[in-house]
Structure 1
Amino acid sequence: MEPVESESVQPREGVCGVVSAFNPGPENVANLKWLLRFVDHVVIVDDGSPGDVAQALADMEKLGAVILRLGTNSGIARALNVGVKEAVGRWNPEWVLTMDQDSRLTGDYVTAALATAHSSREPESVAMVCAESHNNIPLPTWGGQEEPQIFDPMTSGTLVRTETFQFVGYFDEGFFIDCVDSEFNARLREHGLRALAGRGCNLEHSLGNARPMTIFGWHARVGAKKLYVYYHAPFRVYYITRNSLILARRYAVKQPTWVLRRIYMEIQSHVVRFGFGPNRRKHFIAATAGVRDALRQKMGKIDESLAARLR
């Protein structure tokens, strides 16, 4: 992932970066170096990495990042919460930029995001500014053409006004991984706040393993565009299924249009996953367990016995 070097990018005062890391390596050290072109301060939270990551974390610290290590793998929500609180306690920034370790900003991203917030007709209602596109592919929006809101923003590449956390609370740690960003976004709307699409803000983000979508050996396409299946490990399918259902139940009455559209998108993903993806038997086990635990309202980390079955 090598975005084109941007001209005249200056770190913005009042903005701190917070990165959740898991088993970071040299490529993530390079991503941190890139991030420090955009912000003055960064907190890296290692989420209980089981591997030997001492060298990578030491290299990150040499670059100027504050390093925090969680004793156990506690999920991205907790890692981000710990990092945000550390950043606020140290520097009291106006904005926090949350990032995944495998993402990079392009262009003069932070400046463009702040300009979007400050030029809004109702700047006081702007709680977040998110990427407008991922890998130059526009993200789904709603709320009008003049100031579109991102339909389901990802935490990576999102600037959050720090006072928002005092107003609506922090990320829900019960979700652990998937839908953490979706739930936070829905909660913002419950408080009359918005997550705007940052004009010109493109995030380079790793989409994981991809394989061609084939039908009897034919590479499926829409027009000239070839289609691919993006692979999620079975344990992720468990979280995606469970958390999506819990999220839908939580907001179905309050935000029915958003919930129905999101369920439709998840059904599409499952059709592709079970119809064309690898490891379908384990994915089916994961999805079934996710439905079961959603009905039980069971949150938190996946049971180790189930995780072992899905490896």
Structure 2
Amino acid sequence: MLTKQDIVAVVVLYNPNKKVYDNILKYKGLVNRLILVDNSLTNNKYLFKNIDFVDYIPLYNNYGIAYALNLGIKNSTEKYILTMDQDSAISANLINSYLKFLNVNDNNGIGALTCQYNTDRNPAVAKKGYVKVRQSMQSGTLFKRSTFDKIGYFDDKLFIDVVDLEFFLRMKRSELSLVRINAAVLNHHPAETKVKKILFLKLKYGQSSEVRNYYKARNLFWVAKRYNSLDMYKGLTISWLKIILLYDDKRKYLKAFNQGIKDAKHNRLGKYYSNYEGN
């Protein structure tokens, strides 16, 4: 029977603060071990030195989400890996729901389990059942170690954004299922929420930075071409429409978006944005 001792959590840090420290404390007793991989320029070990279940790995540079996740995974031995953002809130509900499912339904065709995401824009509550899905987010997803053994790790050329979506497309190609457990709910904090009034409607939407719009456009287009993925092309179109219809200072965001498309066409990946910013 699988237990919490079979699960390691990998959390990628970036300039962590006291709020992140408090969040990290919530992992105690819910997983066997917690590996923190820090993409900050400085060593923040002092924040976590008194937490006995934490392994801290400083990078002294920002190498991106994929590189950091891969390093954490490679420094673990547990059968299952839970990947998390530093501000996502773990809970007993999340872990227990995954274990309950796995102890009844685990098989070689499953590559990962994912959850419902409870946000201020899209509230979610626990429900019965489970369903196979094509896509999800890496934060809050429980991966089998055997999945990485079979299809490789996250693609660090993408640096940030769409890293999880590309991995799930690769899982599908290898006939590994992504299963959403409806009882598992993660409190998640995506991009800043804004509200736009259109006639009698109030639309809540997320607005990320100019840089993140660049990476999202670049990586969505590159992955869409590589996998001939209608889902990725739809995501790209929605991102463009959000800028056109909802964003202020559209010219700035469209410049980043268009540069992302251009770089994807020329296979300019990695941490590339700073090379042209302002040009």
Partner of 1:61: 49
Which residue of 112, 123, 127 corresponds with 1:128? 112
Shift of 1:270: 2.3
8 Å Cα contact 1:116/1:199 also seen in 2: no
The separation in 2 between residues aligned to 1:12 and 1:290, in whole angstroms, is 41
Shift of 1:266: 3.3
Partner of 1:16: 8
SS in structure 2 at match of 1:186: helix
Which residue of 225, 228, 240 corresponds with 2:216? 240
The separation in 2 between residues aligned to 1:36 and 1:273, in whole angstroms, is 41
The separation in 1 between residues aligned to 2:250 and 2:268, in whole angstroms, is 24
- Structure-2 change in CA distance of 1:53 and 1:228 (3 Å): farther
Matched, 1:209 2:192: yes
Shift of 1:298: 1.4
Matches within 5 A, 1:262-273: 262-273=232-243
8 Å Cα contact 1:212/1:228 also seen in 2: yes
Identity %: 26
Partner of 2:60: 71
The separation in 2 between residues aligned to 1:44 and 1:26, in whole angstroms, is 15
Matched, 1:36 2:23: no
8 Å Cα contact 1:18/1:44 also seen in 2: yes
SS in structure 2 at match of 1:201: strand
Partner of 1:304: 274
Shift of 1:153: 1.2
1:120-139 per-residue CA deviation (whole Å, 9 max, x = no partner) reads 3x621111001123337459
Shift of 1:202: 0.7
The separation in 2 between residues aligned to 1:290 and 1:110, in whole angstroms, is 37
Stretch of structure 1 that moved more, 67-76 or 103-112:
103-112
Partner of 1:293: 263
Shift of 1:274: 2.5
The separation in 1 between residues aligned to 2:10 and 2:233, in whole angstroms, is 30
SS in structure 1 at match of 2:271: coil
8 Å Cα contact 1:155/1:181 also seen in 2: yes
The separation in 2 between residues aligned to 1:199 and 1:12, in whole angstroms, is 19
SS in structure 2 at match of 1:212: strand
SS in structure 2 at match of 1:148: strand
Shift of 1:273: 2.4
Scaled by the length of structure 2, what TM-score is found? 0.90
The separation in 2 between residues aligned to 1:273 and 1:36, in whole angstroms, is 41
The separation in 2 between residues aligned to 1:166 and 1:67, in whole angstroms, is 24
Aligned residue identity for 1:17 = A
RMSD of equivalent CA atoms: 2.2
Aligned residue identity for 2:246 = F
8 Å Cα contact 2:135/2:178 also seen in 1: no
The separation in 2 between residues aligned to 1:262 and 1:245, in whole angstroms, is 7
Partner of 2:142: 159
- Structure-2 change in CA distance of 1:245 and 1:138 (3 Å): farther
Shift of 1:181: 0.2
Count of residue correspondences: 272
- Structure-2 change in CA distance of 1:111 and 1:133 (3 Å): same
8 Å Cα contact 1:147/1:197 also seen in 2: yes
- Structure-2 change in CA distance of 1:151 and 1:134 (3 Å): farther
- In structure 2, stretches of 5+ residues that fail to align are none
Partner of 2:154: 171
Stretch of structure 1 that moved more, 230-239 or 150-159:
150-159
8 Å Cα contact 2:130/2:180 also seen in 1: yes
The separation in 2 between residues aligned to 1:239 and 1:176, in whole angstroms, is 8
Partner of 1:110: 95
Aligned residue identity for 1:213 = K
8 Å Cα contact 2:12/2:37 also seen in 1: yes
Matched, 1:200 2:200: no
Partner of 1:82: 71
The separation in 2 between residues aligned to 1:95 and 1:163, in whole angstroms, is 9
The separation in 2 between residues aligned to 1:150 and 1:279, in whole angstroms, is 35
SS in structure 2 at match of 1:242: helix
